[in-house]
Structure 1
Amino acid sequence: MKHLTRLLGAAAIAAGSLGSVPAFAEGGTLVIGSTQVPRHLNGAVQSGIATAVPSTQIFASPLRYDENWEPQPYLAESWEVSDDGLSVTLNLVQNATFHDGEPVTSEDVAFSIMTTKENHPFQSMFAPVETIETPDAHTAVIKLSQPHPALLLALSPALAPVIPKHIFGDGQDVKSHPANAAPVGSGPFMLDEFTAGEAIILKKNPNFFIDGRPKLDEIIIRIVQDPSALLIAMENGEADIYPFMAGSQEIKRLEKSDHLTITDEGYAAVGPINWLAFNTKSEKLSDVRVRQAIAYATDRDFITNALHRGVSTQQRGPIIESSPFFDDTIEAYDVDLDKANALMAEAGFADGMELTIDFIPGPREQQQSVAEYLKSQLKKIGIDLTVRAAPDFPTWAGRVGGHDFELTMDVVFNWGDPVIGVHRTYLCSNIRQGVIWSNTQSYCNEEVDEILNAAAIEQDADKRKELYSRFQQIIAQDVPIYFVNATPYHTAYDNRLMNPPKGIWGTMHPMDRLEWSE
């Protein structure tokens, strides 16, 4: 806790005592404010903002991406894709070491990709990877069972951290490995302290393999579960970056601060969708007519324009509407209470039913406010809805990942390519107990599986678009999820920061180039 004498603990923040804390020293320290509580720091086996932001600083990855969606060298100084698309050769830099001094080798790359394939919620991300050959210490050859258009993007920092085999390959379950809370990577920053629920302190890696980087001496991620307290911290200069800000009041309030820049750049590859998920194995929700009734009873326009004050855009399907793969002909389920009540009666629930709804704690406007709106709205079709709060993110994730829910609000990312971020939610094979952001709806349709598996390997863009259109039409009819809006993520940052995280991955990307202008 040596650094926390100049930090504000979560309890003090919640109590509103920000004014008693001295301003942070400028220069080498960057303070990131976050409302998300990470379960651990190993992005190879855990998805989500809370893990990805620190993980991408601690671990390096084979590739990184520029602002134009072009792959750039990172641990791999070069790479080649075979003409048949069935192998990708990574030529690794020769001077990379882990934070404990051990060299990064092709064995670590192979171990990491296969570990991610076996344990990460995004099962489709590396599904075609059959083997990884390591002819020498600095060459890794990824062998595929079929072409994989999304592979290079999947080798990004937020998706493919290279973890040390000599630590994580000791036979322990990697998902519960003690090193997940004290990770050793080869990224620009090293873990100094991890105080659960309070702060993550990262210090400069003096032996980083890219000369002259990182620019900062230290990154402190302050976990502030009270968004209003985080706003005060940003206004007072006690925090320097507030990423993944989605509340209209927060955005409009910080826009008034002269020392801050507010931008929606940095989320191009994220594709965040705010949605209402159904547990299709629930006895009450297994009937598609009930799910359709709830969809017809929900007023998407009211949510985006009234609850979200117009900062959100409506979302009608499983692929983000800004994607070229989105099909705008799908059933939108515009509000129709007569049709909703008729469907409830057809399903045998003319006298109504009781349901519970969960939500992610933290982003109130996108999550809790919608859940509370649904409590009143669904009464119009005879549903008595109980809103079930969770004290923190891990509790909510445990419920939903454990399939212990009926309805839940959720925010799920497309992650750049449907193969990475969309398929995982709908494949029968990705119904995985205890894994959040997998197919937690327990939805299974063999025709959907066939379509998605075909789209995953299709090289022709037009044919791929046609396959995804068929997929979206089926999902619109089956309604395992009611899609609400594209989450309006913004980042607030201090004007003095140079090279702020505005690339396609935002703060889920190494911040080795970020520095203070004075």
Structure 2
Amino acid sequence: MTKHFKSLMLATALGTAFAFSAQAEEPVRGGTLIHAMAQTPRHLNPAVQSGIATGAPGAQLFAAPLRYDEDWTPQPYLAESWEWSDDGLSMTLKLVEDAVFHDGEPIKSSDVAFSVKTIQENHPFKTMFGVVTSVDTPDEHTAVLNLSQPHPALLLAMSSQLMPIIPEHVYGDGQDPKTHPQNSENVVGSGPFKLVEFTRDQNIVLERFDDFFIEGRPYLDRIVYRIIKDASSRAIGAENGELHMLTFENTVRNIARMKENENLTVTDEGYAAIGPINWLAFNTGSDGPLADVKVRQAIAYAIDKEFILKAIMQGLSQEAKTGIHPGSPLYDDTVNAYELDLDKANALLDEAGYERGSDGTRFSLTIDHGNPTTKPQAEFTKASLSKVGIDVTVNSFVDFPTWAQKISNHNFDMTWDTVFNWGDPVIGVHRTYSSDNIKPGVIWSNTQQYSNPRVDELMDQAGQEIDPDKRAALYKEFQQILAEDLPVYWTNTLPYHTVYSNKVGNAPLGIWASSSPYDLVYLKEE
């Protein structure tokens, strides 16, 4: 079967189900997309590095076995088909037969096995492939992932930036994959674009890979990522036409302003799998008041979530009632939302035995924030809790490492934080609530020191349940218990938005945002 014919079949199978906005016109070939980034990636290899900074260029440089449409449906990509075994303990991938790396070497099943092993040993998301015991390679285009237990998160883990297929003949040279020189220079990828230049804190330049395995793709000649750390500068660049696209924008005043520009499309579509949630975390393992669930519930009732949504977020964010993102099909919106109720808050504090003193104060707490975007929430929390007799001191940190060290070592009372779901609860949610994940020194683990045996049991069951309805029921109970125990008080999704010029076709509006491959993106005019 010829490459062209196979590519036509693949393109037909994918159709408009790719996670991109529908366009009526025929895509235009050529042109350079100017794309802003807010951060400099540590390097460009997503197999050993998480995060959206690496994910955006990484998804262009490396192909994953699967990709997802906007309805959470997996679609073929480097793997043209996949099949579960009857017992759910193995997954067979059939690779596109004529795919090659950027140096012309064929992409083989042995590269898939090597990539899985590299991710297992080096990536921080250990649950993605933790149950993969081995990868068989019966022929050069068939890879069989063997599992110790059923793993319903496996398909999502094989998409986007989470499972880049990297070349064994490059990274299997004995050097540490985390510090390999070809993570940043002379990158040999498997994706639709290849690296031309990576100048730290300035730009990343990619160009079309002409031997990409989907015939006629990508449409763009080049992508130039300009690293612009100042949010206002990015907004000005979009407004004056110097930039074609911004992603992961979350400065609400700039978003609101850009929405008024008729030459720009500003949308919050595309972040459901990233799953960013803002929340107020409690140190439940402390010896103080926060060890009492009634105190935590009282604090939630004392905070006006509507003020956060409408005033602080300016209506650009969604309410989040649980630790699962509201864009996920597993989200349960029936849990207690803790609407503002000062009478209930005061009653709960009285029941917990914390009566007001002569000055009206019940007790004192501290609240930390390490991200400037959560400072307004911290200040608002201080004002809110003063109304129910809780004296709050706000601690601001000048840099992320200082904040992270304090929080990860459980040296805090409360902190405002932003945490990502990363597609499936097994990957990005369990880590926050598992009693096995209370690990001093590790940020974005169970820093709340929360422990509930039933929650652990539900996560274990849901992490193995293949039946979607049964799995949803397990996560429903999981969310109901958490909403009662309240190790964190969830308030809203982070107001991530994609901003793109009207000149851009097929902007990345699926569940992975700019961590999606850009082979379908085009410019309507150069």
- Whether the TM-score (by the shorter chain) exceeds 0.5 is yes
User: Is the CA contact (8 Å cut-off) linking 1:359 and 1:388 kept in structure 2?
Assistant: yes
Distance 1:499 1:42 in 2: 25
C-alpha offsets along residues 399-438 of structure 1, whole Å, 9 cap, x if unaligned? 6567676543333333343233322322234445665544
Aligned to 1:13: none
Instruction: Kindly provide the amino acid, as one letter, of the partner of residue 431 in structure 2.
Output: R
Moved more, 444-453 or 165-174: 165-174
Moved more, 241-250 or 425-434: 425-434
Aligned to 1:295: 300
Local SS of the residue matching 2:513: coil
Local SS of the residue matching 1:190: strand
The correspondence for 2:394, drawn from 358, 362, 386, is 386
Distance 2:224 2:377 in 1: 32
Answering whether residue 156 of structure 2 is matched by residue 153 of structure 1, we say yes
The correspondence for 1:317, drawn from 313, 322, 325, is 322
Distance 2:519 2:381 in 1: 43
Quote how far apart the aligned CAs of 1:54 are.
Answer: 1.5
Distance 1:105 1:440 in 2: 41
The correspondence for 1:224, drawn from 216, 228, 248, is 228
Aligned to 2:212: 208
Distance 2:220 2:503 in 1: 13
C-alpha offsets along residues 176-213 of structure 1, whole Å, 9 cap, x if unaligned? 55544444321122233333333332233333232322
Quote how far apart the aligned CAs of 1:155 are.
Answer: 0.8
Moved more, 411-420 or 74-83: 411-420
Instruction: Kindly provide the amino acid, as one letter, of the partner of residue 224 in structure 1.
Output: I
Answering whether residue 125 of structure 2 is matched by residue 122 of structure 1, we say yes
Quote how far apart the aligned CAs of 1:500 are.
Answer: 1.4
The runs of 5 or more residues in structure 2 that have no matched partner are 1-28
% identity of equivalent residues? 52
The 5-angstrom pairing of residues 377-416 of structure 1 reads 377-380=384-387, 381-391=389-399, 407-416=414-423
Moved more, 431-440 or 491-500: 431-440
Local SS of the residue matching 1:192: strand
Local SS of the residue matching 2:196: strand
User: Is the CA contact (8 Å cut-off) linking 2:272 and 2:328 kept in structure 1?
Assistant: no
User: Is the CA contact (8 Å cut-off) linking 1:110 and 1:140 kept in structure 2?
Assistant: yes
Distance 2:402 2:215 in 1: 42
The 5-angstrom pairing of residues 39-78 of structure 1 reads 39-78=42-81
Aligned to 1:199: 203
Aligned to 2:242: 238
C-alpha offsets along residues 443-479 of structure 1, whole Å, 9 cap, x if unaligned? 3433222111111222333332221122112222332
Aligned to 1:86: 89
- Normalised to the residue count of structure 2, the TM-score between the two structures is 0.83
Aligned to 2:492: 485
Instruction: Kindly provide the amino acid, as one letter, of the partner of residue 324 in structure 2.
Output: I
Aligned to 1:458: 465
C-alpha offsets along residues 360-403 of structure 1, whole Å, 9 cap, x if unaligned? 34xx3xx2322232243344443332232344x67766665676
Answering whether residue 343 of structure 2 is matched by residue 326 of structure 1, we say no
Instruction: Kindly provide the amino acid, as one letter, of the partner of residue 452 in structure 1.
Output: M
C-alpha offsets along residues 8-65 of structure 1, whole Å, 9 cap, x if unaligned? xxxxxxxxxxxxxxxxxx9622122233443333322333322211211111111112
Moved more, 498-507 or 317-326: 317-326
Q: 1:321 to 1:259 in 2, by over 3 A?
A: closer
Quote how far apart the aligned CAs of 1:233 are.
Answer: 0.8
Instruction: Kindly provide the amino acid, as one letter, of the partner of residue 392 in structure 2.
Output: D
Q: 1:74 to 1:47 in 2, by over 3 A?
A: same
Aligned to 1:469: 476
C-alpha offsets along residues 42-92 of structure 1, whole Å, 9 cap, x if unaligned? 322333322211211111111112344332222212222222222111112
- Normalised to the residue count of structure 1, the TM-score between the two structures is 0.84
User: Is the CA contact (8 Å cut-off) linking 1:62 and 1:155 kept in structure 2?
Assistant: yes
Instruction: Kindly provide the amino acid, as one letter, of the partner of residue 210 in structure 2.
Output: P
Quote how far apart the aligned CAs of 1:506 are.
Answer: 2.1
The 5-angstrom pairing of residues 245-260 of structure 1 reads 245-260=249-264
Aligned to 2:363: 352
Local SS of the residue matching 1:507: helix
User: Is the CA contact (8 Å cut-off) linking 1:124 and 1:423 kept in structure 2?
Assistant: no
Quote how far apart the aligned CAs of 1:510 are.
Answer: 0.6
Quote how far apart the aligned CAs of 1:236 are.
Answer: 0.9
The correspondence for 1:103, drawn from 78, 83, 106, is 106
User: Is the CA contact (8 Å cut-off) linking 2:355 and 2:362 kept in structure 1?
Assistant: no
Aligned to 1:6: none
Q: RMSD between aligned alpha carbons?
A: 3.1
Q: 1:169 to 1:427 in 2, by over 3 A?
A: farther
Instruction: Kindly provide the amino acid, as one letter, of the partner of residue 246 in structure 1.
Output: N
Quote how far apart the aligned CAs of 1:274 are.
Answer: 1.7
Local SS of the residue matching 2:162: coil
User: Is the CA contact (8 Å cut-off) linking 2:349 and 2:355 kept in structure 1?
Assistant: no
Instruction: Kindly provide the amino acid, as one letter, of the partner of residue 388 in structure 1.
Output: S
Q: 1:425 to 1:102 in 2, by over 3 A?
A: farther
